[in-house]
């Protein structure tokens, strides 16, 4: 182990993003590796939240059009900034809703079953909330989820074969919904290949970016998915329950939202108060209700950090961090199986370990001031974050984990998850 400490310190000394660590609130001695579930608070996000509070205090109702960040246009302005994270055009992204609300909006808008095309294609490894939304939308269309939802099977229980996904894009499929990065294994799918396959078959395709937004650069101007949706509280660090985002390819601009609301309106027409909706001609059309200003506010500061750091630089450091972590695990912790893909173009931002005692090992890690993430049935997710995780912390994590395993310190805990895993 000790020889790798020299390597870690050298990597930290050469890290062009090292200074961003000072932008975040970190606890002494605690190593936070759960940023793929909830990112840490940054000082910029705190400042921008206070700024919106002060705008409310100073301007009251006039805050909609006054102040540093007028509320009426904030979702659109932040959407334009977020577009850079996924390589989209301005006006293709809007900050709104939550992951599941935005998915409901996208299905309601783009799932238009015909006599020939009545099915939605997903997979058996996706996050449960996405499946709940898909099933409920099928039922709202009078279709049985048992007959009209196709879930691609995994051959190993952790990853998907893109050939299997494409082979399930049959002539009766109307819509495909997949994750860019699988939440358990961290597998990164080839979005461009899957989009091309879907479009060749006249199928609409969209992606859940919850585990890629803010850690992996996408090029949607090139790959051209029809839509995408995500949360901003993981790698984007905008706070628990913060407002999410969605992307709609500009070829669909003008399409009426499946779930209409007042904020779907063309901004210049919104206060005409007509009962016939004149919706926006860009991603803003797919908003529903009034923006949640206090939940959007931290994103103002958080996106400043992404602008300064650059998403490509973030990806490069993330890959180095996870490479180093996997190298140490292979050398020092052979009892763990690494189940995430190891090739750089096939993995997201976290390392996923399998062990039969995973639940209580996570509890032991927390006791030793390392914050991991547990996922059923026996998986440990470790996410070193480019903004605030050092290479020495990666080394220290493996050192503490090795001590836990050598001393069997985890055996005093029950091998079952807490209420929140």
DSSP-assigned letter for residue 312: H
Q: Is 56 annotated as a binding residue?
A: no
The residues with which 207 forms a beta bridge, in sequence order, are 178, 228
Question: What are the DSSP calls for 346-363, one per residue?
Answer: GB-S-EEEE-TTHHHHHH
Residue 267 CA to residue 116 CA, distance in Å, equals 38
Q: Is 100 annotated as a binding residue?
A: yes
Where do you find CATH 3.40.640.10 in the chain? 48-308
CATH no. for 48-308: 3.40.640.10
Q: Is 233 annotated as a binding residue?
A: yes
**Per-residue pLDDT, 129:** 98
Q: Is the preceding omega at residue 377 within 30 degrees of 0, hence cis?
A: yes
Q: pLDDT per position in the chain (421 positions), as tens?
A: 888 999 999 999 999 999 999 999 999 999 999 999 999 999 999 999 999 999 999 999 999 999 999 999 999 999 999 999 999 999 999 999 999 999 999 999 999 999 999 999 999 999 999 999 999 999 999 999 999 999 999 999 999 999 999 999 999 999 999 999 999 999 999 999 999 999 999 999 999 999 999 999 999 999 999 999 999 999 999 999 999 999 999 999 999 999 999 999 999 999 999 999 999 999 999 999 999 999 999 999 999 999 999 999 999 999 999 999 999 999 999 999 999 999 999 999 999 999 999 999 999 999 999 999 999 999 999 999 999 999 999 999 999 999 999 999 999 999 998 888 8
Residues 332, 398 contacting (CB under 8 angstroms): yes
Residues 6+ apart with CB under 8 A from 121: 150, 152, 165, 168, 169, 173, 175, 176, 177, 203
**Stretch (H or E) spanning 317:** helix 311-332
Q: Is 298 annotated as a binding residue?
A: no
Q: Is 164 annotated as a binding residue?
A: no
Residue 178 CA to residue 192 CA, distance in Å, equals 13
Residue 79 CA to residue 239 CA, distance in Å, equals 17
**Per-residue pLDDT, 400:** 98
Residues 6+ apart with CB under 8 A from 286: 94, 96, 102, 105, 106, 109, 246, 248, 257, 264
DSSP-assigned letter for residue 207: E
Phi first, then psi, for residue 269 (nearest 5°) are -110, -10
Q: Is 226 annotated as a binding residue?
A: no
Residue 167 CA to residue 162 CA, distance in Å, equals 9
N-term to C-term CA, the chain: 30
Where do you find CATH 3.90.1150.10 in the chain? 2-32+311-406
**Stretch (H or E) spanning 293:** helix 293-309
Classify 371 as helix, strand or coil.
strand
Q: Is 357 annotated as a binding residue?
A: no
pTM for the whole structure: 0.96
Residues 36, 23 contacting (CB under 8 angstroms): no
Tokens 């890629």 belong to residue: 212
Residue 215 CA to residue 384 CA, distance in Å, equals 11
**Stretch (H or E) spanning 379:** strand 379-382
Tokens 């809703």 belong to residue: 97
DSSP-assigned letter for residue 409: G
**Per-residue pLDDT, 1:** 80
Q: Taking CA 93 as the corner, what is the angle to CA 89 and CA 95, rounded to the nearest 5 degrees?
A: 150
Q: Is 64 annotated as a binding residue?
A: no
2-32+311-406: CATH class: alpha beta
Q: Is 397 annotated as a binding residue?
A: no
**Per-residue pLDDT, 420:** 84
**Per-residue pLDDT, 97:** 97
The alpha carbon dihedral of 287, 291, 295, 296 has a sign of positive
**Per-residue pLDDT, 2:** 84
Q: Is 96 annotated as a binding residue?
A: no
Q: Is 403 annotated as a binding residue?
A: no
**Stretch (H or E) spanning 178:** strand 173-179
């Amino acid at each position: 182990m000790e020889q790798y400490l020299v390597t870690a310190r050298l990597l930290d000394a050469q890290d062009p993003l090292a200074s961003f660590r000072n932008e975040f609130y970190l606890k002494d001695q605690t190593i936070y590796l759960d940023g793929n579930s909830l990112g840490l608070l940054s000082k910029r996000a705190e400042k921008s939240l206070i700024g919106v509070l002060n705008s409310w205090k100073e301007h009251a109702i006039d805050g909609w059009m006054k102040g540093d960040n007028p509320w009426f246009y904030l979702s659109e302005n932040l959407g334009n900034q977020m577009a850079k994270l996924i390589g989209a055009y301005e006006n293709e992204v809007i900050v709104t809703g939550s992951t599941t609300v935005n998915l409901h909006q996208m299905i309601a808008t783009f799932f238009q079953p015909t006599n020939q095309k009545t099915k939605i294609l997903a997979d058996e490894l996706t996050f449960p909330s996405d499946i709940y939304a898909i099933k409920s939308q099928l039922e709202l269309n009078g279709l049985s989820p048992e007959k009209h939802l196709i879930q691609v099977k995994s051959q190993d229980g952790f990853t998907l074969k893109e050939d299997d996904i494409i082979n399930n894009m049959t002539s009766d499929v109307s819509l495909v919904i997949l994750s860019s990065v699988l939440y358990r294994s961290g597998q990164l799918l080839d979005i461009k290949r899957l989009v091309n396959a879907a479009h060749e078959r006249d199928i609409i395709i969209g992606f859940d970016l919850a585990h890629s937004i803010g850690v992996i650069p996408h090029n949607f101007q090139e790959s051209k998915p029809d839509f995408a949706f995500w949360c901003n509280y993981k790698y984007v660090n905008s706070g628990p329950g913060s407002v999410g985002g969605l992307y709609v390819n500009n070829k669909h601009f003008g399409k009426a939202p499946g779930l209409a609301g007042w904020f779907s309106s063309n901004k210049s027409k919104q206060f005409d108060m007509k009962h016939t909706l004149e919706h926006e001609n860009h991603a803003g059309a797919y908003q529903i209700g009034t923006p949640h200003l206090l939940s959007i506010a931290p994103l103002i500061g958080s996106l400043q950090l992404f602008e300064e750091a650059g998403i490509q630089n973030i990806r490069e450091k993330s890959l180095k961090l996870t490479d180093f972590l996997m190298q140490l695990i292979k050398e020092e912790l052979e009892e763990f199986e690494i189940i995430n893909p190891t090739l750089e173009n096939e993995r997201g931002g976290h390392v996923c370990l399998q062990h039969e005692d995973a639940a209580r090992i996570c509890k032991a890690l927390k006791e030793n001031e390392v914050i991991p993430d547990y996922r059923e049935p026996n998986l440990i997710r470790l996410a070193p974050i480019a903004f605030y995780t050092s290479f020495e912390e990666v080394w220290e994590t493996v050192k503490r984990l090795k001590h836990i395993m050598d001393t069997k310190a985890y055996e005093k805990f029950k091998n079952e998850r807490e209420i929140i895993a």
